[in-house]
Amino acid sequence: MNTTPSFKSLTTPYSLGKVNFDASLNAVREELASDHVPEPLNGGHYIDGLGGRVHYRAYMPQSHTMGTIIGLHGATHNSGFYHDIGVQASLAGYKFYALDMPGHGDSYHRPDGNYTYDNLTDEIQHCIEQIIPATDRGQLCKIGSSLGGQAFMVLSERIAGAATVLNDIGPLISAQVHYLVIKNFEDDKAHSLDDMITTAGKRYMAYGMTESAGTTEFIRASLESRTNGDEKLYRYKLDKNFGSIYRNVAVNPQYADDKPAHHRDHGIKGSDLTKQFKKIKEPILMLHGQESRFFNLQQLENCFAGNVEQIISVEKAGHPVALSNQGLNTQIIQFLNEKLEAV
């Protein structure tokens, strides 16, 4: 008798309710206009990485009664993405760390502009081993959003843990998606303050963001100013060369899918991390944005294997699912609590 739970039985819907963050956008607009931008919340921490200084945020509990969580953001994002769940997790007794990946936020940019899955994951492993004491790694929980989830798949045999949360990401990413993300990096255009806030609002609405301190922090940490004569303009705080990580997939059979590169995708190939995904030994919670263009239910069902124990399908959310909703974050923390109790 087959006792394996069905894909459908593990999937539960979650509604965010009203999705609006106009107050957060306005708060950032006022800060930037006044040139009074606060220091990063729970940030300002740096470590010497393999290629330069890496910025991270730390959320420390009054009493460390649970495990340690490391959060990795997605491409074009930053550690501010995890502020709300970092605060909630610390109140629940967890240590929570969130990195700015190289090429993002306040971390270094590679001088050669050449990013790969290998040099990215080597850097992440180095930082985790430097930031998190070995005594805390036995109860390590990992939350990876988009590219951050892919990084944890690649690191599955190098960094063990008690539980993994994959945020709207699976082992297969198409060439078309890679191309779209590359274009996001290469769009280095600077905007007026009002245009920048409008553009950011449209981009981040797709994540299902709700009004919160973390939403304000994430938007604030995503933007930087530059002067053009007497005019101050704004852009996303990114290395425009980071898209090379997706171009490099085509020349690395360890990570590339077996489909031929098509001219309409500019010679870019998709990624296939199925082998790495199946090597994750700890229990997995998967988040799915019901409006995601990057990851759909069919892909979820196709990759449903191994240790996937729960799937939360989030209404009104795209890719990746914003972690600004207290109720959703509570469910994630409850999953981690249960897995730690079983360790």
Over range 85-96, report the average pLDDT.
Answer: 97
pLDDT band of 6, cuts 50, 70, 90: low
Question: How many Cα atoms within 13 Å fall on the side-chain side of residue 34?
Answer: 9
pLDDT higher than threshold 80 for residue 2:
no
pLDDT at 183 over 90: no
How large is the average pLDDT for residues 249-256? Answer: 86
pLDDT, position 258: 83
263 against 79, higher pLDDT:
79
Mean pLDDT of the chain: 90
Q: Which domains does the chain have, with CATH numbers?
A: 7-342 (3.40.50.1820)
pLDDT of residue 1: 39
Q: How far is 32 from 63, CA to CA, in rounded Å?
A: 36
What pLDDT sits at residue 230?
Answer: 76
Confidence (pLDDT) at 7:
67
CA distance 219 to 324: 12
267-324 pLDDT tens trace: 788 999 989 998 999 999 999 999 998 887 777 776 666 688 999 999 989 999 999 9
Q: What DSSP character marks residue 79?
A: G
**CA-based nearest residue to 256, from 180, 185, 186, 178:** 178
pLDDT at 261 exceeding the cut of 80: no
Best CA proximity match to 167, nearest among 295, 265, 29, 26: 295
- For residues 115-131, average pLDDT: 97
What pLDDT is recorded for position 264? 60
% of the chain exceeding 90 in pLDDT: 62
Task: For residues 8-30, give the mean pLDDT.
Answer: 86
pLDDT at 164 over 80: yes
Q: Name the packing angle between helices 22-34 and 213-222 (round to 10°).
A: 50
* Percent over 70 (pLDDT), the chain: 94
- What pLDDT digit, counting tens, does each position of 20-51 carry? 899 999 999 999 988 888 889 998 999 999 99
329: Cα separation from own chain's centroid: 15
The secondary structure of the chain in percent helix, strand, coil, rounded to multiples of 5, reads 40, 20, 40
The DSSP output letter for 135 is G
pLDDT of residue 154: 96
- Residue 225 is predicted with a pLDDT of 87
Q: Sorting pLDDT into bands at 50, 70 and 90, what band is 205? A: confident
